[in-house]
Structure 1
Amino acid sequence: MTADEPGPAGPAPPPPGGPRASWRGWRRRRRDPLAAVLIGVLTLVLGFAIAVQVRSTDTDAALAGLRQDDLVRILDDVTAREDRLRQQIAEQRAALEQLGTEGSTSPAALEEAADRAQALGILTGRVAAEGPGLQITVRDPADRISAAILLYAVQELRGAGAETMQVDGVRIGVDSAVTGDPGALSVDGQPVDAPYDVLVIGSPRDMETAMNIPNGVVDKVTRRSGSVDVVQSDRVVVDALRVLEAPQYAEPEDED
């Protein structure tokens, strides 16, 4: 992400796991075509998760102006997101290992792989999703809401456990960028207009609490003559989709 306030650090590479089947070994084995497709999908998404970096500009200057408690909270949020990403990567490595073993083309294994691919599709923004969450409206009548504030809202929601979200019809991903001047903001290069409509799936209570912490999103918006409406819902639909780009440099690790 890119904005004038701090963003999360890029995800660290996953810790070493247990014994893994050789990638070349998998390719040499003759597998059910559906299993091969699922292995490919999981591998592509795994490589994407490892390779992607969350973009941010002017981070050092922004951090220098924050209070100690704000810095501690930001660090906690980044650590929590990193831990979740590490866990997701570990789970996908385990799924790949299972698919690489003899007998992994059983209906149960294929169903498990399909479920994991679907879950990753939601997390990466390639699949529409629905579930409990929040419908948030950020109003900016004075055109004073900066890209940094909108980015800060996304970060706070993620730190509170948001699983997927969209802003004005633009699906948010791990590499999303918020840019532009107040009154003329863009998300991933697509213009967005106030009032900004944010649809987010996750724990409604936890995320609403995060929006209303002292010096949080609601406070920041209010101090700039704006307002934030937060509505909890049992069914939020996030249907904007992202195109998953293949990693330019990263590729599955080859262990012989």
Structure 2
Amino acid sequence: MLLAVVGFALVTQVRSTAAQDEYAGYQEQDLVDVLTGLSVAAERAESELTQLRAARDDLLTDSRSRQAALERVREEATDLAILAGAVPVTGPGLRLTLTEESGRLQVEDLVDTVQELRTAYAEAIELDDTVRVVAQTPFRDAVGGIEVGGVELSAPYVLEVVGDPAALRGALTFAEGPLELLDRAGVEVTIEELDRVDVESVVDVAGPGVAPGDAAQ
């Protein structure tokens, strides 16, 4: 161990002596020039290091931006799939039961009810656990009831709607709104606010259809 320490000391002394010998013959101006050169080299190295750090930060920022963009694309794709009725939806919402008491439910009244629910940002609407109602779903009169999306349904009609329960209820209960008009037509409407509504039916998004507004005309 002692020999190793002595050896290290000798090497250090030799290197120091060599460095001193190297600059021993330098004039004052020469030494100033050497120091200036070393200072410039150090500044250049620091500048390059700063640039490398900035490049690293830019790469990290770009990576985060790309990740955020991918998340936005996924969210938009999910929203579009829900609007198109291509995927099941679960969430809080309403269950509406329309019972023909003293009158018959008219197509235009059902379409108006659906439109008001959509205006209140209903995420998903389903009729009788069978038909997913989207913007292109056709509504038509049928002998025994109403044909919705090519499926003939009859009273009582059950609408299950995913969305903000308070907003959905408000879209139905305002003056001269769907609830009041249906009551005048002899159709009783029961509204249940639910913490969980499962809309499981889906539509073939490739198939063309007629918008509810067009079907009522």
* TM-score bucket (shorter structure): 0.5 to 0.7
- 1:146, 1:182 within 8 Å by CA — same for their partners in 2? no
What is the root-mean-square deviation of aligned Cα atoms in Å?
A: 2.5
1:229 aligns with 2:190: yes
- Show the 5 A alignment for 1:1-256: 109-142=69-102, 144-168=104-128, 169-181=130-142, 183-245=144-206
Unaligned runs of 5+ in 2: 1-61, 209-217
| 1:243 CA drift (Å) | 0.6
- Counterpart of 2:58 in structure 1 is none
Deviations 1:54-99 (A, max 9, x none): xxxxxxxxxxxxxxxxxxxxxxxxxxxxxxxxxxxxxxxxxxxxxx
Unaligned runs of 5+ in 1: 1-101, 248-256
Identity in percent: 32
CA distance in 2 between counterparts of 1:198 and 1:192 reads 12
| 1:176 CA drift (Å) | 1.2
* Structure 1 or 2: more helix by fraction: 2
- 2:142, 2:152 within 8 Å by CA — same for their partners in 1? no
Structure whose CA Rg is larger: 2
* Structure 1 or 2: more strand by fraction: 2
- Counterpart of 1:14 in structure 2 is none
Find runs of 4+ consecutive structure 1 residues off by over 2 angstroms: 106-116
- Counterpart of 2:212 in structure 1 is none
What amino acid sits opposite 1:176 in the alignment? T
- Counterpart of 1:67 in structure 2 is none
CA distance in 2 between counterparts of 1:197 and 1:213 reads 21
| 1:107 CA drift (Å) | 5.8
| 1:119 CA drift (Å) | 2.2
- State the number of aligned residues: 146
- 1:145, 1:182 within 8 Å by CA — same for their partners in 2? no
CA distance in 2 between counterparts of 1:224 and 1:109 reads 50
Q: 1:217 to 1:172 in 2, by over 3 A?
A: same
CA distance in 2 between counterparts of 1:213 and 1:182 reads 31
